[in-house]
Amino acid sequence: MTQSRRQFLTTIGVAGLLGRRVVNGQTAGAPLPSVDLGEPLELLTIRNVSVIDMTGRPAIHSTTVVLDGNRIVSVGAPSQSRDSAVLDAKGKFLIPGLWDMHTHPDMRTLSLFIANGVTGIRVMAAFPGLTEGRDEIARSQRLGPRVVAGVSFNGPIGSRTSEDWWIVSTADTGRAAVRRANREGYEFIKVYNRLPRDAYFAIMDEAHKQGLPAVGHVPFAVTPAECSNAGQRSFEHMFGIGNVGIDRYEEWRQSAAANPSGTPGFWDFQPSVDSFQVSRLTGLARIMRKNKTWICPTLIASALLADRPTSADDPRLKFVRPEQKGWWADSGPTSNPRSRREHPQYMETVRILHKSGVSILAGTDAPGVPFTFPGFSLHEELQLLVGGGLTPLDALRSATSGPAEFFGVRKDLRTVEAGKRAELVLLDADPLADIRNTQRINAVITGGRLYRRPSLDKMLEFAEADARSQQRTPLPLADLFNRHHYRWPSG
């Protein structure tokens, strides 16, 4: 395994550790913004707005949307109430709130999502403090996006244990872990690389019985097709899927199935990616479509690995704590010939999956991969999805109506229609004309409150002050590597 690949893999899950430090008070910070930055919505009429309602219909121009608290009352019918506040949105576009479907946030960065129009996130390795924050957000006591929180299961490696993973070594312990996750209020299970084969299938079976979705990586001991057929709801990242297009993948998989805790990673076993053929993925794509298995490709991660920023001038770095900024600088992956070849292959994989009818979710892994920024990077992911063959409408779907369908809450969130929750973003330009226009945010409506541009800017000011107020704490890479159950390869 190359040094950059090893470091890249180490990033996954590190944000959970950083978040735990913040939750436990190991890093103090400035006061955080509160829900009071927004204006409470009793009755609001948005006039002269163009609505991209995500029903599949063309944009509705120069229309009227009426909101009452956190609900949409009507779209297209003028307000009849003299008591309604009025927002003139001429030239602006209204879309559902965005979702980032693969995150590892900490408690102090949640407002960055709202400032970027992200009103919902799927947290892939939650910890107790974050689930408490989830509930506070639901009660409108904390500013942040709607949180759907999961817990990660990984297989054992030697005698090591970790507080950041639930270690599962047998079918029985897998079933017990699923039941515990359900009792403790987690909303899904994330499966990880080193799960033994029998444990994986037991987890999938028990998760189905408990009504918990199972998502995650493709464990080394199982094929992607087997995962899909077993009911895994989504695949995270591209390396577990794209490997199918590379020579000798099945040979390696069989060795991993025989020894999941000791087999070298696929990148050690097969150093060359030149044998990749996208046509080898057509069979898997058909299986995924049949089983309604989603893909969350996190293309921003492979894009950054292929062409890592070398400049410290990115203005978004002012929102990053010194602890994490230092880790990004010291231990982040570096670009290399292999990573530069892999990213276009992942883009091709997204293209064929989308063309085959596989549903796609937008996710970033922020801030677990260096230079992925909470909230900001989702807009970059949407641009990459368009580069991977999606239309701007398809890309929007991956971050709006797609997540609502995935979670089974289409009646509540999916579209801009009467009766739906008012989780909305008002844009200054048409995102269907240019997906980059999702960044031109005029206002965000969430939790029964309206956050205009000055309030969103205030959130960013709070985040900058919070990052500036903290001291850097060294994070030894080897310690992180061991705690998160990765293996230092030889050589």
Q: Give a three-class secondary structure readout of the chain.
A: CCHHHHHHHHHCCHHHHHHHHHHCCCCCCCCCCCHHHCEECCCEEEEEEEECCCCCCCCEEEEEEEEECCEEEEECCCCCCCCCEEEECCCCEEEECEEEEEECCCHHHHHHHHHCCEEEEEECCCCHHHHHHHHHHHCCCCCCCEEEEEEEEECCCCCCCCCCCEECCCHHHHHHHHHHHHHCCCCEEEECCCCCHHHHHHHHHHHHHHCCCEEECCCCCCCHHHHHHCCCCEEECCHHHHHHHCCCHHHHHHHHHHCCCCCCCHHHHCCCCCCCCHHHHHHHHHHHHHHCCEEECCHHHHHHHHCCCCCCCCHHHHHCCHHHHHHHHHHCCCCCHHHHHHHHHHHHHHHHHHHCCCCECCCCCECCCCCCCCCHHHHHHHHHHHHCCCCHHHHHHHHCHHHHHHHCCCCCCCCCCCCCECCEEEECCCCCCCHHHHHCEEEEEECCEEEEHHHHHHHHHHHHHHHHCCCCCCCCHHHHHHHCCCCCCCC
- Residue 342 is predicted with a pLDDT of 83
CATH assignment at residue 46: 3.20.20.140
Q: The pTM is what?
A: 0.91
Q: What is the pLDDT of residue 268?
A: 65
Residue 231 lies in a domain: yes
CB burial readout 419-458, b (16+ within 10 A) else e: ebbbbbbbbeebbbeebebbbbbbbbbbbbbbbbeebbeb
The pLDDT assigned to 270 comes to 57
Quote the pLDDT of residue 341: 82
Cis preceding linkage at 367, omega within 30: yes
Q: What is residue 486's predicted lDDT score, i.e. its pLDDT?
A: 30
In a domain, 25, yes or no: yes
Q: So what's the pLDDT on residue 274? A: 80
Q: Model confidence over 260-282: pLDDT tens digits?
A: 666 666 666 655 678 889 899 99
Any domain includes 368: yes
Predicted local confidence at residue 472, as pLDDT: 63
State the residue range of the domain holding 477.
3-483
Q: Give pLDDT, residue 487.
A: 29
Q: What confidence score (pLDDT) does residue 322 get?
A: 87
Please report whether residue 201 resides in a domain. yes
Which residue positions in the chain have pLDDT lower than 70?
A: 1-29, 79-82, 158-164, 260-272, 309-312, 331-338, 410-411, 471-491
Please indicate, yes or no, if residue 489 is contained in any of the structural domains: no
Question: How many domains does one find in the chain?
Answer: 1
Has residue 10 been placed in a domain? yes
The answer to the question of residue 359 being in a domain is yes
Residue 491 covered by a domain: no
